[in-house]
Amino acid sequence: MIKPNRKGEVWVFAEQEDGSLHDVALELCGKARQLADRLGVKVGAVLSGWKTQELPRQLISHGTDNVYLVEDHNQVIPMMIKALKERPKE
């Protein structure tokens, strides 16, 4: 069995449209919070888009510890690759 990584985060991709979060993103934050609590780690949400000033607060109120705002869609994949490369080795 694979050991859980207790040094990282549980991530949620928080989909939004026209400045409103999709309901499923908030539901996933709650589930991610439950999983993160069991693992003893934080919850991170990746939020992509423009004019999203109020959305990070909503994500945090639904259990997210960190919100990673990506305003340029071309940055999402490189950012995730960088995070994977920088994660602690077991």
39 alpha carbon, distance to own chain's centre: 16
pLDDT at 71: 75
CA-nearest of 81, 83, 25 to 52 is 25
pTM of the model: 0.72
**Is residue 3 situated within a structural domain?**
no
**Is residue 33 situated within a structural domain?**
yes
pLDDT tens, residue by residue, 52-85:
888 999 999 999 999 988 876 666 566 666 666 7
**Is residue 19 situated within a structural domain?**
yes
CATH number at residue 32: 3.40.50.620
**Is residue 2 situated within a structural domain?**
no
**Is residue 50 situated within a structural domain?**
yes
Number of separate domains in the chain: 1
pLDDT at 48: 85
pLDDT at 90 over 60: no
Range of the domain at 53: 9-86
pLDDT tens, residue by residue, 10-30:
999 998 888 889 999 999 999
